[in-house]
Amino acid sequence: MRRILLDENAPVGLKSVLSGHDVRTAPEMGWAGLLNGRLLDAAEASGFEVMVTADQNIRTQQNLAGRKIALVVLATNHWLTIRADTTTLLAACAAATAGSYTVVNFSNRRRRPDENPAAS
């Protein structure tokens, strides 16, 4: 079990996808509105091993050298897209190591007109 922090821009539904881990959201931790550097500092100090974010610019904004936390960056924060293809996200969180940066891409499978998205 890993300690995983969900950034404010990551769908809260990820908590159910990552149910085998100790998953918290930034707002739950009282960190709503913290900028990336301070958020990473707070997460590391609290023992989080992985932060999941949809912030595509975080890699250029933050130097992960020497960090204890890994970043898993979602290529989208569209919940239905993520929910339809969780395998890569689960694998990225499991494989993340201190200071690593992983982008998770999701399949672009389109629903057939006769598929009911509410039934998924």
**Residue 71 burial (C-beta neighbours within 10 Å; 0-12, 13-18, 19+):** buried
Summarize pLDDT for 72-101 with one digit per residue, the tens.
999 999 999 999 999 999 999 999 999 999
In a domain, 97, yes or no: yes
Range of the domain at 33: 3-107
Would residue 118 count as lying in a domain? no
**Whole-structure pTM over 0.75, yes or no?**
yes
Which helix (H) or strand (E) segment holds residue 26: the answer is: none
Does the residue 67 lie in any domain?
yes
Q: How far from 35 is each of 31, 61, 86, CA to CA, in Å?
A: 9, 10, 27
Residue 116 lies in a domain: no
The C-alpha atoms of residue 10 and residue 8 are separated, in whole angstroms, by 6
Q: Structural domain tally of the chain?
A: 1
90 belongs to a structural domain = yes
How do residues 27-41 score in pLDDT, each as one tens digit? 999 999 999 899 999
